[in-house]
Amino acid sequence: MPFVTSATLNKRYDVIVVGSGAAGGQSAYTLSMEGARVLMLEAGRKYVPENETPMFQTPEEGPLRGAATPDKRFGFYDATINGGWEVPGEPYVQTTHAAAGRFDWWRARMLGGRTNHWGRISLRNGPYDFRAHTRDGLGFDWPLSYTDLAPYYDKVEMLVGVYGNNDGLENTPDSAPGCLLPPPKPILSDLLIAQGARRVGVPVIAGHRAVLTQKLDFNTSPARLHPGNPTAQKIIAADMQARAACIWATPCARGCSIRANYQSTTVHLPPALASGNLDIVTDAMAHEITLDRRGLASGVSFIDKTSGKECHASARVVVLAASSCESVRILLNSKTARFPQGLANSSGRVGRYLMDTVGSSLGGQIPLLESLPPLNEDGASESHVYTPWWLYQEQLAGKLGFARGYHIEFGGGKRMPGLDTLAGIEWLTGGSYGKKFKEDARRYYGSFVSFDGRGEMIPNEGSFCEIDPQLKDKWGIPVLRFHWKWSEHETRQAAHMQKTFKEIIEAMGGRVNGAVQTDGAQAIQAGGSIIHEVGGALMGRNAHSSVTNRWGQTWDVKNVFLADGAVFPSNADKNPTLTIMALAWRAADHILDLMRRKDL
Amino acid sequence: MDRRTTIKWMLAVSASMPLLHQRAAGIDASTALPPVPGQGYGTDPDLTRIYHPGDLWPLLLTPVQRRTAGALCDLIIPADSASPSASAAGVVDFLAEWVSAPYPHQQADRALILAGLNWMDSEGVRRFGKDFTALEEAEQHLICDDICCEQTAQPAFTEAAKFFARYRDLTAGGYYSTAAGRKDLQYIGNVPLKSFEGPPLELLQKLGLSPDEVQRG
Ligand SMILES: Cc1cc2nc3c(=O)[nH]c(=O)nc-3n(C[C@H](O)[C@H](O)[C@H](O)COP(=O)(O)OP(=O)(O)OC[C@H]3O[C@@H](n4cnc5c(N)ncnc54)[C@H](O)[C@@H]3O)c2cc1C
Ligand code: SF4
C-alpha cells in the first residue's frame, strides 16, 4: 500500500497524519504497524533516497564546486529539496529584519522533510528538563516527567539506531541496556579537544547520533518494540536486516542511500508502507482541519499541488506533524464560528512561546594538527564526541548570570577538501601565493577546529507567530508572521559559550580565528537559525494555560493531536528531534488506546 | 565590495592612469556588466548527474580575461613536483563558471573579479608598459607582492588587495576541490571502509595523546 493520489484516496481513514518528517514518520509508523488505517498528507514531492542521494559525488562534479546558492542554501549536494530559508511561492513575514528580532524559518518541502538532511544528533532531555519551572522559577514545567518518556526514548533509539555511551552524567540520561549502538572512535581533533577541554574543566564524552555504527539488533529489538504483535515484529525485523551499517564515508547531510542513518524516508516509511496500513499522498498541501456538527474534526482540506485543486480527506483522528510553525499555521487557519481564533485556540496560546536553540560559534587553528600524515577522518560525518552541559550546580547557585545550559558540538578533521577548505587563511600565511601557498595549504589543511554552542532558550512573550492579515501564499493560504525576542538568559549564555571556546582553543595550544565576542547580543545567532523550531502549541496541565494535554491531544477538540515540536513547553539544550519522536510514539499509543476503547 | 564601489574603484584607477586604456576589453566588461543571461538550477536539480562549467549557464569570460585569469591563478598555484598548476586543473573554467552564475553572491564576485583582472593588466602597463600576461614572472611578482596581503598593503592598493584575497580564495577553492587538489593535500577519504579505526597509536603518542582522552562513565 502505497502512494495514492487525491483521486484514489479511501473514503475514510482511522487517522490522517499531516507531514512526513520525524513527527509524521513516527506517528504513521506506530499507528500503521499497530493496525490503524493511516493516510499521510505531505506537501512536498515524493523522494527516493535510494536513487537520488549523491553519495560519493565530489565537489567538481556539481555546479560551482557544490557551493551554496539561493536555490540550495546548504550547498548543492545537501539533501534539501524545494526548501531552504525561502520556499518559492510560500513566503512568510518578519516583523523586523534587525538581527535581534528576526526569526528565520527553514523548511524542506519533500517526503521526509528535514530528516533527510538533519545533523542526526540525538540527545535525550534529562529529568530537570521536564520540570524547568520548578527548578528555577522560569518558563514552564512539562505535564509529564522523564520517567514517563524514558520507555519511548528507548523504543525510538532501538528502532532508528542511535550510537552513544551511557555515561551516567547529571541530567544526561542513560538508555536501557541494548538501546544504544557503540559510538565511533574519536578522530584526532576530538582527542586533542578532549585533552584541552579537560584542562579547563570541561568534559567531553561520546556523541549520540542516529547512525548505524553496526547493524541493528533484529533478533531482540522487534519484540521489545511491538510486544504481542508478531506481524509488526516480522516486518520490522526484515527491515532492520535490510538496512546497511555505516561505511565511514559520504556526508550524512546528503542523505544515505544505504539507509545507515535515520531519515523518515529510509527508516519510518518503508516498514509502515509494508504493513499495508499506510497510504501516502505527496504534493498535498494541507491548510484546514474541518469539523463535523459535534465540533469534532472530520478530516483535512488540502490543495493537490499537481492540479491546484481543493481536496478533502476524512478520518476519525487528525494528527498534525507538519513542523511546529506549520502545524500552528494550520490550526490558526482553521477558523469557524465555533473557533473564531483558530482551532483549539480557546486559550489564545496557539502561536505563543515559539522557541529555537541559542547558537554561537568560534573557530581555531591548532599547530599540533599541522603537517600530519594522511588520515582518513570521514568517519560517521560528524560529532563522534560532544560536551554535555556541565555547570548545573554553579548555575543553580546563581553564579553564572543565566539560567539554563548549553552543550558543545565540535568540528575538525581532514574533511574532503571543498571550496572553503583553504579560504581566508591569510591570517596564518601573511598572504603567501605561489609555491609557498601550496606548502602552506598542505601545512594547514586539517588543522582547524570549530565549536558550536547549542543552548536552551526560555520561552518568552515576545517570541511568537500569528497569521499575517494580508499576505497569502501561491495557493491562497494565509501565511505566518513572526515576532522574536531574546532575553538576557540567552545572550549571556552566548557570551559564556564564546569564553569557553576560547579557553579550550588556547588550552590546546591553538589560536582563535577572528574575534571572541564578549557582547552576548553580538555572539548570539539570529532566531530560527539553529533550525530547532519548537513551541507554539504548548502541552500543559489545563485548558486555559495550554493547547494540548500530555499526549499532544488538544483540549478543545479531542480527536486532534499535535505530534511535532509545537507542544514543547521548554527547549532544553538537547537537539529536539529524538524527543519529538518519543512524544509522537507516546501520542500514537494513546490514540490507539482511545480508538480501541471507542473514545475516539 | 558591492558593484557600485567596484565601479568607483575602476573610475579612480582610470583617472589616475589616463593613458592606459587603449585596449577596451577589460574596462568595457567591468563597467557595463549587463545582467547574466543564464538561469539558476532551481530548487530541485538532479543531484546525481555530472555537471561541467557551461552546462547550466553560458561562460562569459572573454579570451583576454581568460588569459589574465589563467596567468594569475597559476601565479597563485603553480605546478610543482607534486601537482599541476591551477589552470591545468581546470580552475579557469571554474572561475568562468563562477562569475557567470546568475546568483547574487557570484555576481558581486563578477564585478570585483572583472575589475581586478582589468586592473592587473593596467598595472602591468603602468609599471612595465605591458599587459600582466606579457610580463616576466619577476615583474608579475613585483605587482602581486604589493597586493597579496590585505593587512599590510599600502593604502593605494587596498582595493587591489581585496580583489587578490578573493581571487586567491576562489583559486584555492577551485583547485583543491578537484582530484588533483585532493591528491596534493593527501585526502584519502570518500571510500567505503569496513570499520573506522581512528588515528594510529604512534601518531597519538607523538602528539602526547592517549586513545582514552574521551571521558567514559
Ligand atoms: C541542517 C539541519 C540540521 C539539523 N540537525 C539536527 C540534529 O542534529 N538533531 C536534531 O535533533 N535536530 C536537528 N535538526 C532539526 C530537525 O530536522 C527537526 O527537528 C525535525 O526534522 C522535526 O521534525 P518534524 O516532523 O516536526 O518536521 P519536518 O522534518 O520539517 O517535517 C515536516 C513535514 O511536513 C510537511 N508539511 C509542512 N507543511 C505541510 C502542509 N501544510 N501540508 C502537508 N505537509 C506539510 C513538510 O513538507 C515536511 O515534509 C536539524 C535541521 C536542519 C535543517
Ligand atoms: S557517514 Fe555513514 S551513515 Fe552517514 S551517509 Fe555516509 S554511510 Fe550513511
Task: Encode pLDDT of A378-400 as tens digits.
Answer: 999 999 999 999 999 999 999 99
Residue bearing the bigger pLDDT, A97 or B52: B52
**Contact present, A15 and A58 (Cβ < 8 Å):** no
* Number of C-beta neighbours around residue A294 at 10 A: 9
- Cα–Cα distance, B71 to A114 (Å, whole number): 44
- Residue among B187, B198, B215 whose CB faces A417 most closely: B187
Cα A186 to ligand 2 centroid, rounded to whole Å: 16
State the ligand closest to the CA atom of A285: 1
Mutation to test the A interface, candidates B59, B145, B184, B215, most A Cβ within 10 Å: B215
State the ligand closest to the CA atom of A530: 1
- Cα–Cα distance, A350 to A136 (Å, whole number): 25
> In this complex, do A71 and B213 lie within 8 Å of one another by their Cβ atoms?
no
> In this complex, do A194 and B214 lie within 8 Å of one another by their Cβ atoms?
yes
Average pLDDT over residues A532-550: 98
Q: Which residues are within 8 A (CB) of A397 and not within 5 positions of it... i.e. 6 or more apart? A: none
Q: Is the pLDDT of residue A329 over 90?
A: yes
Q: Domains in chain A, please, with CATH?
A: 1-52+77-87+104-119+149-158+230-356+533-600 (3.50.50.60)
Using CA coordinates, name the residue in chain A closest to B100.
Answer: A64
- Residue B31's pLDDT is 54
Residue bearing the bigger pLDDT, A98 or A436: A436
Helices B158-176 and A435-444: angle between axes, nearest 10 degrees: 60
- Using a CB-CB cut-off of 8 Å, the residues of chain A touching B56 are 63
CA-only gyration radius of chain A, Å: 23
Helix ranges (DSSP H) in chain B: 3-16, 25-32, 63-76, 91-99, 104-128, 137-147, 158-176, 179-184, 201-206
* Number of C-beta neighbours around residue B64 at 10 A: 18
B42 Cβ under 8 Å from any chain A Cβ: yes
- Residues 100..139 of B with a Cβ closer than 8 Å to A: which? 101, 103-106
> In this complex, do B214 and A418 lie within 8 Å of one another by their Cβ atoms?
no
- Using a CB-CB cut-off of 8 Å, the residues of chain A touching B210 are 191
**d(CA A277, nearest CA chain B) in Å:** 30
How does pLDDT run along chain B (217 residues), one tens digit per residue? 444 444 444 444 443 343 333 332 223 334 568 888 889 999 999 999 999 999 999 999 999 999 999 999 999 999 999 999 999 999 999 999 999 999 999 999 999 999 999 999 999 999 999 999 999 999 999 999 999 999 999 999 999 999 999 999 999 999 999 999 999 999 999 999 999 999 999 999 999 999 899 988 7
pLDDT tier for residue A529 given thresholds of 50, 70 and 90: very high
How many CA atoms lie less than 13 Å away from A403 in the CB half-sphere? 19
- Using a CB-CB cut-off of 8 Å, the residues of chain A touching B177 are 58-60, 65-66, 417-419, 421
What is the dihedral angle through the alpha carbons of B38, A51, A580, A163, rounded to the nearest 10 degrees?
A: -120
For A160-170, what is each residue's pLDDT tens digit? 999 999 999 99
- Residue B217's pLDDT is 75
CA-only gyration radius of chain B, Å: 21
- Using a CB-CB cut-off of 8 Å, the residues of chain A touching B173 are 65, 418-423
- Residue B13's pLDDT is 44
- Residue B191's pLDDT is 98
Cα A579 to ligand 1 centroid, rounded to whole Å: 13
Domains of chain B, residue spans: 3-33+56-216
- Residue B32's pLDDT is 62
**Contact present, A172 and B215 (Cβ < 8 Å):** no
Written as one letter, the residue type at B11 is L
Question: Could you tell me if the ipTM is greater than 0.90?
Answer: yes
B88 Cβ under 8 Å from any chain A Cβ: no
Task: State the closest ligand 2 atom to the C-alpha of A261, by its place in the atom list counted from 1.
Answer: 3
CB pairs under 8 A between A and B: 245
Closest-CA residue, ligand 2 atom 5, reads: A252
Q: Burial of B206 by CB count in 10 Å (0-12 exposed, 13-18 middle, 19+ buried)?
A: exposed
pLDDT tier for residue A467 given thresholds of 50, 70 and 90: very high
Grid look-up 564546486 returns A65
State the ligand closest to the CA atom of A118: 1
- Residue A125's pLDDT is 98
